[in-house]
Amino acid sequence: MNAVIKRCAAILALTGLITTLLAACSAGAARTAEDEGGTVITDAAGRKVAFSSVPQRIVALGNGEVDIIYALGGAVVGRPASDDALAVEAAKEVATIGSVHTVDLEKIAALRPDVVLANNPINVKDVPMLEGIGLKVVLTEANSVDDILGQIEVIGSMLEKEQEADALVAQLRSGIDAIQTSNTEPKRVLMVYGAPGTYMAALPTSLAGDMLTKSGNLNIAAEFPRLQSYPQYAQLNTERVVEANPDFIFIMTHGNSDEVQQGFVREMESNPAWSSIEAVRNDRIHVLPAGLFGTNPGSKVADAVNMLVELLSS
């Protein structure tokens, strides 16, 4: 028994030593970057990523990050494949590398990036694969307006453009605060995220839901039960929507907006209960632009909130 206890103690001691060494290596890497005049940032997943110099070759898996980088005076060598939501003209000819949902490791590796900007939590599973071929990965998230402002600060630090980032954040905060105070009659709104054959209601914890809250209006899906696989969204429940009777219905999509809208209209027509809804009777169903609502709008987040206010005032 004593021998067993001694072996267990030795194993525990060894485990503690390994943990200490790993922590020391991580801290050492951070100190090395700082000693060399570099930067250590903390990403959305709480990971510390060290840069000994400003990254020049940047790959972004999301259009929002592409927008922020260009807004701060930077550029990317790789971007998402979707053109529908790409608002940066200068990035249109940049190589495409899949997206947050379809990471193309071969294309990314061929670009020899200094850093890959990915999504938390969607790309957490991809980090070991990307780091395994020697790439640095920074995870960002965009489930709220504040998340986007945080992205700007993190990317500003990474690019050593803190002053530009601070100025942009201050400008966006000021713009959104002004928008909030301008709306005095809250409207009841249903925000639908759609793909052909699939429709979900955006909750207040989603980016679109948070922008709706910032616009000073009411999300009728606020109490809908969230989906386990997509916790910022809820199943589209016709009975609850009819009961809530929204004044407006907004449709968001990454893909073909006409196809999604037509599919949603067909779904409404198949259930007569939709005809009693205020938004349907008054023809207040709008497809929102993908660049502002189908994806993270980046530095144009105030424009997105302002568009909601304008549509809801009509």
Instruction: List, for residues 135-151, the tens digit of each pLDDT value.
Output: 999 999 999 999 999 99
Query: What is the average per-residue pLDDT within 5-15?
Result: 41
Of 238 and 9, more confident: 238
Helix pair 301-312, 162-180: axis angle to 10 deg: 10
DSSP 292: I
Is residue 92 located within the same domain as residue 202? no
Is residue 225 located within the same domain as residue 304? yes
Over 60: is that where the pLDDT of 35 sits? no
Is residue 308 located within the same domain as residue 205? yes
- Domain-embedded: residue 307: yes
Final residue before a domain boundary, out of 145, 176, 207: 176
Element (H, E) at 78: strand 78-79
Domain that holds residue 295: 184-312
CA dist 284 and 252 (Å) reads: 14
User: Is there a contact between 205 and 302 (Cβ–Cβ < 8 Å)?
Assistant: no
- Domain-embedded: residue 51: yes
Residue 53 backbone dihedrals phi, psi, to 5 degrees: -155, 170
Is residue 228 located within the same domain as residue 263? yes
- Domain-embedded: residue 256: yes
Element (H, E) at 190: strand 188-195
Q: What is the structure's pLDDT at 8?
A: 41
Q: What is the structure's pLDDT at 22?
A: 36
pTM of the prediction? 0.85
User: Is there a contact between 277 and 265 (Cβ–Cβ < 8 Å)?
Assistant: no
Is residue 133 located within the same domain as residue 250? no
Is residue 100 located within the same domain as residue 226? no
- Domain-embedded: residue 6: no
Is residue 171 located within the same domain as residue 188? no
Q: What value does the mean pLDDT of the chain take?
A: 86
Is residue 211 located within the same domain as residue 255? yes
Final residue before a domain boundary, out of 122, 153, 176: 176
- Domain-embedded: residue 2: no
Q: What is the pLDDT of residues 172-188, one digit of tens each?
A: 999 999 886 665 689 99
CA dist 158 and 138 (Å) reads: 10
Split into its structural domains, the chain has a count of 2
Strands, sheet with 78-79, edge to edge from the N-terminal-most edge strand: 95-96, 78-79, 58-60, 115-119, 137-140
Is residue 137 located within the same domain as residue 56? yes
Final residue before a domain boundary, out of 160, 176, 192: 176
CA dist 215 and 299 (Å) reads: 17
- Domain-embedded: residue 15: no
Is residue 150 located within the same domain as residue 250? no
Is residue 143 located within the same domain as residue 208? no
- Domain-embedded: residue 12: no
- Domain-embedded: residue 18: no
User: Is there a contact between 297 and 67 (Cβ–Cβ < 8 Å)?
Assistant: yes
Domain harbouring 234, CATH code: 3.40.50.1980
Q: What is the pLDDT of residues 225-269, one digit of tens each?
A: 999 988 999 999 999 999 999 999 999 987 666 777 777 777 777
Is residue 167 located within the same domain as residue 196? no
